Amino acid sequence: MKRSARIAVAATAVILTGTAAADDGALRDGRIAYVMTNLFWSVYQTEDAKDECPRGFNDGPREQFAKLFPKPEGMTVEETQLRQEIETWHPTSEPDGFEFYEVEGRYSWGLDLDGEASPEDFTHPDGGEGIDNQVYRAVGCIIGFRGPDGVEFIFQDKAIMDERYNRMMIELSGVDSLDNDDEVSVSLYRGLDRLLTDATGEKVMPGGSQRVDARWGASLIRHTTGRIVDGVLSTEPIPEVVIPWQNLRVASVHLIRDLRFVLDLAPEGATGLVAGYADVDTWYRQLIRNDSTHHLSNGQISGISLYKALRRLADAYPDPVTGENTAISTALDVKMAQVFVVHPGGEQDGGAGVTR
């Protein structure tokens, strides 16, 4: 089963059907919108991780500290704690003395971003070649990034449910059919409202409404086009997208270049991938600003070692002066629920177009 189709089935099972919105048909006046309910780095995991991480998982700050300073008593704060914090906050590409376990497996979720199949690329589980996802190569053998209980995985899912800061959504317009359409317009907004859930508060429902954040979120708005083929939306790349991303109330972001969506569309929701090239420094600083060394330790995430891996594996956007790549290919799993978008002034799109 194709990855996208598999996700679609799962999402449909999660999202309760039978709402008034779905019954009426969420595609109205050629418009439909979806809000993100899950968004996380796409990590291909085998059951025992032996395929992708045959040498095991990486150490985190706690393990590295113990190896560096087996008897810290008598040493100074400057020699120990602050030394590690300086390495974290002022990282370099120089080796840190620890072997870093990159993903060694053949397969990865993701997209062929550059149209080429190079040696560092992965193979899609469905057989497609040229998959660009070097973030996966860097984080795939760090337990904090692996589902279902990695610290990053858990925090990110929780933050999307709990917060509005990261309430990103897309709106499709000019849609003739959710099955096939040669060209549709796609807009990316931030919403202002909480997710519509069922009575448990856990399951996101289709048919909610989201006001467009045209004030604080104005700089986040993007537009592109796409086409729908057999129910799958593929968008043209957006040159630069800022994704608000936080899990412990620090207002950080990810900066993704050439970002594109590939989504299985349904009236109740959409599932699939967001892919592009992540700015390495922004990616890294998002991680360490939101997670203290304590939180990183819980996921065995050594920021010091990971930064070096990100730099080593970066594969796009070379710095014009140094030639060093500044961005790294990536893919994110995304799940979305259908919503009605309310634009400033009261126009409600993605639904009946009524003003309220």
Member of 12, 45, 81, 234 binding another protein (CB under 8 A) = 81
Member of 20, 115, 200, 219 binding another protein (CB under 8 A) = 219
Cα(342)–Cα(189) distance, integer angstroms: 11
- Give the interface segment with another protein, choosing from 179-187, 271-279, 283-291, 346-354 (CB under 8 A): 283-291
Eight-class DSSP state of 70: S
Torsion over CA: 279, 280, 282, 286 (sign): positive
Q: Which is nearer to another protein, 104 or 162 (CB)?
A: 162
User: Does residue number 153 form part of the binding site for another protein (CB under 8 A)?
Assistant: no
Member of 47, 73, 202, 230 binding another protein (CB under 8 A) = 73
Cα(343)–Cα(349) distance, integer angstroms: 7
User: Does residue number 289 form part of the binding site for another protein (CB under 8 A)?
Assistant: yes
Q: Which is nearer to another protein, 86 or 229 (CB)?
A: 86
Q: Which two tokens stand for residue 306?
A: 């990971």
- Dihedrals φ, ψ of 152, to 5°? -70, -40
Cα(138)–Cα(237) distance, integer angstroms: 24
Cα(172)–Cα(53) distance, integer angstroms: 39
Cα(164)–Cα(177) distance, integer angstroms: 30
Q: Which is nearer to another protein, 76 or 180 (CB)?
A: 76
Give CA 1 to chain center in angstroms: 22
Member of 13, 47, 48, 74 binding another protein (CB under 8 A) = 74
Q: Which two tokens stand for residue 188?
A: 């990316």
Q: Which is nearer to another protein, 227 or 289 (CB)?
A: 289
Bridge partners (DSSP) of residue 184 are 226
Q: Which is nearer to another protein, 219 or 322 (CB)?
A: 219
Member of 48, 215, 230, 321 binding another protein (CB under 8 A) = 215
User: Does residue number 302 form part of the binding site for another protein (CB under 8 A)?
Assistant: no
Going by DSSP bridges, is the β-strand pair 238-245/252-265 parallel, antiparallel, or unpaired? antiparallel
User: Does residue number 229 form part of the binding site for another protein (CB under 8 A)?
Assistant: no
- The mark string for 165-184 relative to another protein (x by CB under 8 A, - otherwise) is x-------------------
Cα(214)–Cα(172) distance, integer angstroms: 17
Give the interface with another protein as residue ranges (CB under 8 A). 61-62, 65, 72-78, 80-82, 85-86, 89-90, 162-165, 190, 192, 194, 215-217, 219-220, 242, 244, 246, 248-253, 282, 285, 289-294, 297
